Amino acid sequence: MTSYLTTHNQYLNQIAYRELGTENAGLPLVMLTHLSATLDEWDPLFIDQLAAKNHLVVVDLPGVGASSGQVPLTIEAMADQAVKFIKLRGFKKINLLGLSMGGMIAQAVAEQAPQLVERLILVGTGPRGGKGIDRVSLVTFTAMLKAFFKRTDPKRYIFYPHDQRGAKEAERVLSRLRQRTPDFADQKITIASFRRQLRAIKKWGTAPADNLSRITMPTLIINGDNDTMIPTSNSYQMHELIKNSELLIFPNAGHGSIFQYAIPAAEKISSFLIMPSRAVL
């Protein structure tokens, strides 16, 4: 099986994406990533574990990484971009995973095109008007400043607990990300695109609270027990509001729980995707 570390970008109408596990049966799992991230920010161990059992499609939406175009100023417009890419790729039905900002986009996709999404996976994210989402810019810049003085990657403080154990977990994941060579690298996100993403998240966070009633497909919600970027309380709230949902909280983990627990997270996601549907209560 091809490793994610040696998977090149493909392009469809100047949209960059990577595809793995095409030999696996079942619906494709389309994956949307977090604020400021490109295709290179997915943990290769997590992706390889998922690709062993699933057909994966990870994508840079327009204006991100090597994709042309412009980042919209709303999450809903980003969702429209995602729907257009999915249809352009020729998929009639997909499973959908969104991490952090990607989870916000995934919620909007599930609302805009429910017929397109069979199963939904929301990781380290929150609903419109969710607790603390309007503070993402402040949390992000605080982490970036701390990382600058500590001479480390901001993801160390954004994604992982701030104690010594968290430092070790962060280094394990970051060392895996550093294994990708320039020959297989994506382009970095621009500062302009990053700022537009922050504005979109701010609008999502200050919008009226969403009751999530339009999300009816089977949904798996994942987070760490101490997410300081998108407070973990949002995950509990989404689980209460989405009737056909399951909640998985990893201990001693934060925003990057699926990378910190790469193997068990991938195993849980794979089992969720083949689990028989249960009726909505």
How does pLDDT run across 147-161, given as a tens digit for each residue?
Answer: 888 888 889 999 998
The pLDDT, as a whole number, for residue 148 is: 85
Per-residue pLDDT, 143: 85
**Per-residue pLDDT at 279:** 44
DSSP reduced 3-state for 139: helix
Question: What is the percent of the chain with per-residue pLDDT over 90, rounded to a whole number?
Answer: 89
Please state, in angstroms and rounded to a whole number, the distance separating the CA atoms of residues 6 and 125.
29
For residues 131-152, give the mean pLDDT: 89
What's the pLDDT score for residue 277? 64
For residue 278, name the pLDDT band (cuts at 50, 70, 90).
low
The pLDDT value recorded for residue 281 is 38
Pairwise CA distance, residues 265 & 271, whole Å: 10
- Show the beta-strand stretches assigned E in the chain: 10-12, 15-20, 29-32, 56-59, 94-99, 117-123, 219-224, 245-250
The number of angstroms, rounded, from the C-alpha of 74 to the middle of its chain's C-alpha atoms is 17
Q: How confident is the model at residue 2 (pLDDT cuts 50, 70, 90)?
A: confident
User: Any idea what the Cα angle at residue 124 is, between residues 118 and 125, rounded to 5°?
Assistant: 70
Q: Does the pLDDT value for residue 4 go beyond 60? A: yes
Two tokens, residue 110: 């599930």
3-state secondary structure of 25: coil
Q: Render pLDDT for 33-72 as a digit per residue (tens, 0 to 9).
A: 999 999 999 999 999 999 999 999 999 999 999 999 999 9
Q: Average the pLDDT over 166-172 and give the result.
A: 93
Pairing of strands 29-32, 94-99: parallel
Residue 280 pLDDT > 80: no
Whole-prediction pTM:
0.95
For residue range 94-126, list pLDDT tens digits in order: 999 999 999 999 999 999 999 999 999 999 999
